[in-house]
Amino acid sequence: MTRTALRAARLFDGTACVDDPLVLLADGRVTEVRPGRDAPVPDDAELVELPGATLLPGLVDTHVHLAFDGGPDPVTALADRDEDALLAAMGAAAAAQLAAGVTTVRDLGDRDFSALRLRERGGSLPTIVAAGPPITSPGGHCHFLGGAAQGVAGVRAAVRAHAERGVDVIKVMASGGMLTEGSDIAGGQFSAGELRVVVEEAHRHGLPVTAHAHALTAVRDAVDARVDGIEHCTCFDGERIVLPPELADALVTRRIAIGSTVGLAPVPGGMAPPPLLARLLPDLLAAHATLIRAGALVVAGTDAGIAPPKPHGVLPYGLAQLVDLGMTPPEALRAGTATAAQVCGVGDRKGRVAPGYDADLLAVAGDPTVDIGALLAPVAVLVAGRFVRRPAAVAS
């Protein structure tokens, strides 16, 4: 058995900082973290020096779409791809995530369970937590992914079919979305009763539910249905963004995971958001800042893949934006590692650098606990103890 020893300037272990750590890896896992510059390197370990760098758990994006290619029209691009071309494109998306240091992704919407097939095919991939096609209403948001269902019996059958296919989470489109022409972002797509059955049936199968919700009414219904998470959480009433205090209170006290759709990568020549989003954005960001201040469980669910400013691997920009919204850099790092891993249901093996955890690691130049922008300078990425991106100094 060969061991790897990583020495860096500092470690953010998912919750706290350690100076001058020596991190030991074996069999794809972290075995030990020795603090201090003088910590001895075991004789049988290959030492990799990462001078000036900070080691972190590999990042966790709670909301991506590997099936969307991040181009100007990802929906048409997807429609034009057959199964082989789709899996190839998803492999490229997965590689881009890894290159940015994102070693776990929760895919919240693929076509016909393609994320499960990508995962089964294997290769150098981030860990993929998959929802399959989102459950949506006939003709509703992202219906073209194949997850349309209707009525209490229909949604119950859809959840059961997803569970039988082996998904890890149920994604339900509680309101319309901007990617789907004709869907209503100010209105709900399911009755309160249908949403309750989605949650009831998912929980019966041991699966969490996260609801896509732009509409205020959809956020309310999702909270009442006892979902585990809400994506976007836009709270749009048809005119403006509204965050009623009692709704904010319910989100906070029930520890509902709020996937904030943060993170915009610079696009050559710039790219304006859709006009409605541009108008709503300041108030939307203010509402999420309010939720963060109130202690809500907010994570960065970037929606990577849906547009050019949302390429695969955009999460570091999202974590920087959480700092803009009021988190300290260590809080944002926790949101992108340990907390995000818990939200994805893999918190017992991902999102921390501690004995027994998977050796999915990221090293960045500088100190992201002080300057979150350092996340944009990855120098090494490891998955299960193997380098998928090697530091230049030890390139082989």
Query: Which stretches of the chain bind Zn ion, using CB under 5 A?
Result: 303
Name which of 77 and 354 has its Cβ closer to Zn ion.
77
β 45-57/361-365 pair status: antiparallel
In the three-class reduction of DSSP (H, G, I as helix; E, B as strand; rest coil), residue 135 is classed as: strand
Q: Which is nearer to Zn ion, 136 or 342 (CB)?
A: 136
Query: Which residues does 48 contact at the CB level (< 8 Å), separation at least 6?
Result: 4, 5, 6, 7, 380, 391, 394
Least Cβ distance, residue 112 to Zn ion (angstroms): 17
Nearest to 110 by CA among 61, 167, 149: 167
Residue 259, strand partner residues: 231, 299
The order of strands in the sheet holding 298-300 is 170-173, 209-215, 229-236, 257-260, 298-300
Closest contact distance (angstroms) between CB of 210 and Zn ion is: 10
Least distance to Zn ion from the beta carbon of 178, Å?
10
User: Shortest gap between Cβ of 235 and Zn ion (angstroms)?
Assistant: 17
Q: Quick one: 94 or 359, whose CB is closer to Zn ion?
A: 94
Smallest distance, Zn ion to C-beta of residue 136, A:
12
d(CA 329, CA 46): 32
Q: Quick one: 132 or 329, whose CB is closer to Zn ion?
A: 132
Q: Nearer Cβ to Zn ion, position 5 or 340?
A: 340
- At its nearest, how many Å lie between Zn ion and the CB of residue 53? 32
Backbone phi, then psi, for 277, in 5-degree steps? -60, -40
Angle at 5 between CA 124 and CA 313, to 5 degrees: 35
- Residue 88 CB neighbours (<10 A): 12
Are 64 and 107 contacting, i.e. CB atoms less than 8 angstroms apart?
yes
Minimum CB separation from Zn ion for residue 213, in Å? 11
Nearest to 259 by CA among 109, 61, 102: 61
Locate 367 and state its tokens: 């100190």
Closer residue to Zn ion, CB minimum distance, 68 or 357: 68
- Least Å distance, CB 303 to Zn ion, is 4
Residue among 180 and 339 whose Cβ is closer to Zn ion? 180
Nearer to Zn ion, 188 or 301 (CB): 301
DSSP 56-116: EEPEEEEEE-TTS-SSS-HHHHHHT--HHHHHHHHHHHHHHHHHTTEEEEEE---STTHHH
Tokens 């989003």, residue located: 277
How long, in residues, is the chain?
396
- Nearest to residue 71, comparing CAs of 285, 282, 303, 310? 310
CA distance 219 to 384: 37
Given the complex with Zn ion, which of 201 and 303 has the nearer CB atom? 303
Report the nearest approach of Zn ion to the CB of residue 133 (Å). Answer: 12
What tokens does 361 get?
Answer: 């690691």
Token duo for residue 281: 């954005």
Using CB atoms, what's the residue nearest to Zn ion? 303
Minimum CB distance to Zn ion smaller for 5 or for 66:
66
Report in angstroms how near the CB of residue 211 gets to Zn ion at its nearest.
Answer: 11
